[in-house]
Structure 1
Amino acid sequence: MAKKMKKIVRREFTKSDVKEIRAHSKAKTPVVKIAKTMKRSVGSPRQKALKLGIPLGHMR
């Protein structure tokens, strides 16, 4: 019996999500923490920041 695949649910980024990404970028928050607060995968906010031209992924 094969396992059922988890259905991928894609959520669009809202204006408030973009605002949140900009704030986290300014605060130099690690990407893992950003992903957990936004309830998204680690790559999701990273890709959005890349498209917006915002630096993200700060190491402390």
Structure 2
Amino acid sequence: MAKSTRNSGKPWKPTEVSQLKQLAKGNTPTRVIGLKLGRTPAAIYKKAADEDISLAPTSQRPYGTKK
């Protein structure tokens, strides 16, 4: 079972949802999104599915690299 995080069991705030959308759009890995929001990767996947947010990479370029 995953470790408890600082927001475990707490409802999502609208600012957290918008931050999730922005990070997902920026190709950020799910694990990193979870660390930034204080949520487990499973919680990130669930909320993304609930909000119809795609976590699929927009390109195959690794996170954090630039042209």
TM band (smaller chain): 0.7 to 0.9
* Structure 1 stretches of 4+ moved >2 Å: 57-60
Q: TM-score, normalised by structure 1?
A: 0.76
SS of residue paired to 1:54: coil
Aligned-residue identity in percent: 19
Unpaired runs of at least 5, structure 2: 63-67
- AA partner of residue 38 (structure 1): L
Which residue of structure 2 lines up, in the alignment, with residue 30 of structure 1?
29
User: Greater Rg, structure 1 or structure 2?
Assistant: 1
Partners of 1:38 and 1:21 lie apart in 2 by: 8
Tell me the number of residue pairs that the alignment of Structure 1 and Structure 2 aligns.
53
Q: TM-score, normalised by structure 2?
A: 0.69
Partners of 1:57 and 1:48 lie apart in 2 by: 14
Provide, for residues 1-54 of structure 1, a one-character-per-residue CA deviation record: whole Å limited to 9, x for no partner: xxxxx8xx5110000000001001110100000001111111101100001111
